[in-house]
Structure 1
């Protein structure tokens, strides 16, 4: 196996995935915020809320278009760069992607057009239904994508078929209700809501600092602070659920995130700070908080969390079991027909087939895992350790930023309740400076989820190193350069459109003076058919 191709293919997918994920959270969150604003408009009839819906809806539309353009590329990569992956698990992985395209993407894309061009053609309630359909569609899109991704983290409801050499669905309901997928969905969606809330809060604070569009900005800040506080609190709670599920389904990821080299007595401590050293198998200058990791990871004070060294030993045992499964699989395939399959081979595969993926880890070093040396087995077991230091630090950056978002939104929530949103200019400047931080947190979360799964593309089933297409290094390098160039151009276009729209601000609608003022100032003017002030506000 050409490991350069594996590294290049992973790099290409990482670049396109991380770039695409710049747009996903804002799309998910902003769609809901816009729907909330239009709901208030329909309930109150106050046009300021319609102006807010149109303005933030325009920014949503720009972001949505870029998200669609970059998302399509990722789906093509499964077939181009990861052809064996597509063959091996396409029966399972393809179904959620297909449903996402048919149910969610078409729903969202269809109603986006009605949202922008239906203001004068639909009733207020009809347009509101359209807006909520866009919001629901964006969340459904995330649901199906994360069901597929959650299955990669915890492959349930499927079994390996020796005849077809593929994973095949045995229980689609189990795939849909996969606890890892559900936890990832609610956690990711809450993170998207936080991204959108901080974005709206920061842009609105910028308007307040410059004394522009104050009515729109202050109302937007109130919505963003309330929505963002609820979302950021949800991210923490749901992130705790993800940590608990990792203890059950992805023990090595949890141990790497915590840089827990040795199994500690229960309940395990949480390492608040330290410097992981993979070579020395220790974390230097570690600051521990007693019992916290045990409570997060096991919800108990008596259950151990295995350390990295223990998990490597378990992986080595699984590799040896997997070799026997691989040997039985070869005998089954050589038999040609079910009747000719030796009973012993069938029995061995039924008992040990769950560890077949561990035998495939040896493909990096030897074509036939049955011929692997003890040193190669030991090295393959060590390969199950993901990059510890990057996981350790990205997780802590993500958690630290999450706590900051809670404080930020809570502060503006209190200021909004007291009607003092513009009382502290330094807080408004802080909100503006905080705009990029949710994206950093979201990207860190994605890195923890995906890098933490390595060396598996399907946890415990299919190693990343054997899932790639048989491509030349030059081909992959060329496509990386092409994607980098195209995505850089798209990023510049996106930023220019967003900044231009923000600088321009919402459409100006002149507000007529109050009826009482008109009557006192000019009786003839008072008789003209002006709209009431409440409708204009």
Structure 2
């Protein structure tokens, strides 16, 4: 059995690297499309200010992309270092979209990024515009395949457990690709990137206007960002609702924990605006509810009840019992592959095998599990409610704030008053860090809410870790924290330097040598 301290340190290390990496990903996704829009206007109008806009924001894109690549590569190595059993158990499935991402999307993106920076004076206007659009498409393709892999962990479709190889194996690649959870996560995630990049462009441009620098370039940048950001912020809320609706079908415990819903709500379910969850007492000490709201949001009907945590735990107990039957049948099949009776039992209950593995924390022989052990394992399926409840509400509150923010920005842009509204300009500057808080909250809800599963209903997290020592992980974690802290400081310093330096005022100057060199070095 893997020591839980090892699991905790492995989770902490991956969480730190993943959340640090995702500081750069959404800005890359959004800035890529903003660059394509700006250069499209340049090609259509021939006005050189749009070219300089594309080059300036492209410099910031290049710096961000370089740091993002450096931090993203490390994450894939951690699957082999810290999560070796996970890699063995589901590598045939999880590795497929990662391989496609590496071979197709990343190579496509990296190749065209080089052409973007070095091709300004070597390609025609139209050819360079095509390159820029391919950079944007490549960046989003890269996100697609990563989120297909992550979506499979949330909703493992198109695969089955092979009792002879003792691994999950893929039997429907199309089901993995078109997994509804993965598709919903993709569009929601990239839309959040569009919002973040739009606020970044708006905020930096507002800072220039407040300081009386680069007014024309900043004004045009804000107009593009206001329009793009408004569309992105509306889509984030709509697509986030779709993602939540799918979770009510595939991850009911996550939804119940996010809503601090301990008891099953009769249709239509109420929505807890504010609650004080009490995990030990398994109830809320206080709750402020909106009648019917959760039923409409979560089930899109007035007749469907929503299961609460307590009832879902009782359902988990049943699945654990079935999982024990599957586990016993598996032991028979390993000794005799021709045992048809054992095969029939396994075929009926293999989807509950992961629930039986939850018992391994308490007993080595599952047949020795008592009712108390089963109850403990069933309650392990409940994530920590309070962090999920409040993190989700921070994310949602910020989402609605962004809609209001962009409505005001779009209105001022339509009236050509963006550059003469100092209150809004100051607000735009102070809003810059908020979308990063929102996206990190979103990933926390998605990943922390899935616990105790590394693959929903299939493989418990504690079962998936490598057999490393606490000392090994403590040393590597300290190294990661040190290196990433230095990298963060350098990245922020370089970005701030580029922002302070501002766009090149010479319309004939070549593309930014620094950004091009940084990307080429990667």
Q: TM-score range by the shorter chain?
A: over 0.9
**3-state SS in 1 of match to 2:420:** coil
Tell me by how many angstroms 1:43 deviates. 0.5
Q: 2:391 aligns with which of 385, 390, 394?
A: 394
1:505 aligns to 2:502 (yes or no): yes
Per the alignment, residue 203 of structure 2 pairs with 202
Q: 1:379 aligns with which of 364, 376, 379?
A: 376
CA distance in 1, matches of 2:29, 2:284: 38
Q: Deviations over 1:213-258 (max 9, x none)?
A: 0000010000111000000000000000011100100000000000
- Structure 2 gaps of 5+ residues are 509-522
Per the alignment, residue 225 of structure 2 pairs with 224
**3-state SS in 2 of match to 1:422:** helix
Q: 1:346 aligns with which of 340, 343, 349?
A: 343
CA distance in 2, matches of 1:387, 1:44: 55
CA distance in 1, matches of 2:35, 2:417: 24
Per the alignment, residue 435 of structure 2 pairs with 438
Decide which moves more: 65-74 or 366-375.
366-375
CA distance in 2, matches of 1:41, 1:370: 71
Q: 1:465 aligns with which of 424, 438, 462?
A: 462
1:162 aligns to 2:159 (yes or no): no
Per the alignment, residue 516 of structure 1 pairs with none
CA distance in 2, matches of 1:214, 1:161: 63
Q: Which runs of structure 2 are paired with 1:354-365 in the superposition (5 Å)?
A: 354-365=351-362
Q: Deviations over 1:151-185 (max 9, x none)?
A: 00000000000011111111100001000000000
**3-state SS in 1 of match to 2:419:** coil
Per the alignment, residue 522 of structure 1 pairs with none
When the two chains are superposed, the root-mean-square deviation of aligned CA atoms in Å is 0.9
Tell me by how many angstroms 1:510 deviates. 7.2
CA distance in 1, matches of 2:361, 2:198: 45
Q: Deviations over 1:28-63 (max 9, x none)?
A: 001110110001000100000000000000000000
Q: Deviations over 1:285-317 (max 9, x none)?
A: 311111111111111000011000000000011
- Structure 1 gaps of 5+ residues are 512-537
CA distance in 2, matches of 1:103, 1:174: 20
CA distance in 2, matches of 1:139, 1:510: 30
Q: Which runs of structure 2 are paired with 1:483-494 in the superposition (5 Å)?
A: 483-494=480-491
Per the alignment, residue 400 of structure 2 pairs with 403
Tell me by how many angstroms 1:439 deviates. 0.3
1:414 aligns to 2:406 (yes or no): no
**3-state SS in 1 of match to 2:19:** helix
Tell me by how many angstroms 1:283 deviates. 2.1
Structure 1 segments (4+ residues) deviating >6 Å: none
Per the alignment, residue 144 of structure 1 pairs with 145
**3-state SS in 2 of match to 1:273:** strand
Paired residues in the alignment total: 507
**3-state SS in 1 of match to 2:248:** helix
Per the alignment, residue 65 of structure 2 pairs with 64
CA distance in 1, matches of 2:361, 2:188: 34
Per the alignment, residue 311 of structure 1 pairs with 312
Alpha-carbon contact 1:84-1:467 (below 8 Å) kept: yes
**3-state SS in 2 of match to 1:393:** helix
CA distance in 2, matches of 1:240, 1:230: 16
Alpha-carbon contact 2:48-2:507 (below 8 Å) kept: no
Per the alignment, residue 518 of structure 2 pairs with none
Per the alignment, residue 475 of structure 1 pairs with 472
Alpha-carbon contact 1:202-1:434 (below 8 Å) kept: yes
CA distance in 1, matches of 2:278, 2:221: 46
**3-state SS in 2 of match to 1:316:** helix
Alpha-carbon contact 1:326-1:370 (below 8 Å) kept: no
Whichever of the two has the greater Rg, that structure is 1
CA distance in 1, matches of 2:434, 2:365: 48
Alpha-carbon contact 2:230-2:406 (below 8 Å) kept: yes
CA distance in 2, matches of 1:55, 1:358: 53
1:455 aligns to 2:457 (yes or no): no
CA distance in 1, matches of 2:6, 2:369: 22
Tell me by how many angstroms 1:264 deviates. 1.1
Decide which moves more: 196-205 or 287-296.
287-296
Per the alignment, residue 519 of structure 2 pairs with none
Q: Deviations over 1:62-108 (max 9, x none)?
A: 00001100000000000110000000000100000000001100000
Using the size of structure 2 for normalisation, the TM-score is 0.96
Q: Deviations over 1:407-465 (max 9, x none)?
A: 11110100010011123211111110010000000000000000010000000000001
Q: Deviations over 1:168-209 (max 9, x none)?
A: 111100001000000000000000000100000100000010
Using the size of structure 1 for normalisation, the TM-score is 0.93
Per the alignment, residue 331 of structure 2 pairs with 330
CA distance in 2, matches of 1:363, 1:204: 56
